[in-house]
Amino acid sequence: MSTAGETVGFIGLGYMGHGMAKNIVEKGYPLTIMGHRNREPIEDLKTRGAREVATAREIAENASVIFLCVTGSPQVEAVIRGPDGLKAGLKPGSIVVDCSTSDPNSTLALAAELGAIGVDYADAPLGRTPKEAWEGTLDTMVGASEAVFARLKPVLETWAGRIVHIGNVGDGHRMKLLNNFLSLGYGALYAEAMTLAQKVGISPQRFDSVIRGGRMDCGFYQTFMRYTLEGDRDAHKFTISNAFKDLTYLESMADAAGLVNLVGNAVKNSFGVAMAAGGAGDYVPMLPDHVAKLNGTSLKSGS
């Protein structure tokens, strides 16, 4: 099957998936999408030329390349193996691409299972935010064979500005967990450092005046700080519950590798405490609010 003749299916039209699917259909690929309760992205994509179906099986029957962008491994497994799932409709020669942040152990098991029926599997988790998804400039780290990667690359280029073929199946998800460990670890450090600063009389604004533009500044820092400094609740629309989930996957990967995961577990616990305090649906840049409250203070202006 030639790349030029690919038909694309997409399941998981949330914050990231909506923008990705928009770019796929606008750049010329026939796109089939699966409906869900949030109708806004579905109706938007239909106006752009996408076709809606009701089940994952119908996606598989109508697409040669199928992207999944859901919460994590349990959801990926349900979409593939469940009643009217992808596996019921997949044709030999198709490719399933998991763009979720998933458990690499599950990824390898699914790749073997689908390989037995002639279907290729790839992991292409994402970097950056819904803004870049909409603009078609996401980062992705891809785990796939050379042949599968070569076939996928033109489709990936519709929504990604930076594509790294990191290795074989599973390596994309391994690298994504490492990437998220770094970013979420920074988030936990920023939250605790700002809280300590506030406790000793240094406001977030004064804290920022030293860090911003210095050697410890970075793109993640700037995005993360927009909530504390500007009140921008949508600076990085990635929930604390998703962060905690990713850090449990990191812990599982570390356990399997025989690594004593000291810092990873500390970072996981920072987000776990915020979840226990009712913050599961808050976004990652809101973590400082929870750490500050735990320590009897607030980072809000005038506190």
Tell me the C-alpha distance between 104 and 145, whole Å.
Answer: 16
Longest dimension (CA), the chain: 64
- The amino acid at residue 206 is R
Rounded to whole angstroms, the Cα distance separating 113 from 269 reads 34
**Is 176 one of the catalytic residues?**
yes
Q: For 255-285, give the DSSP string.
A: HHHT---HHHHHHHHHHHHHIIIIITTSBGG
Q: Which amino acid is at 121?
A: Y
Please identify which of the residues 22, 87, 176, 268 carries the catalytic annotation: 176
What are the helix (H) ranges across the chain? 15-26, 39-47, 56-62, 73-81, 104-115, 130-135, 146-156, 171-199, 204-211, 219-230, 240-257, 262-274, 287-294
Other beta carbons within 10 Å of 276 = 12
d(CA 133, CA 27): 14
H helices present in 116-201, as ranges: 130-135, 146-156, 171-199
Q: Which amino acid makes up residue 267?
A: V
d(CA 254, CA 125): 19
Point out which residues pair with 162 in neighbouring strands.
Answer: 139
Active site residues: 176
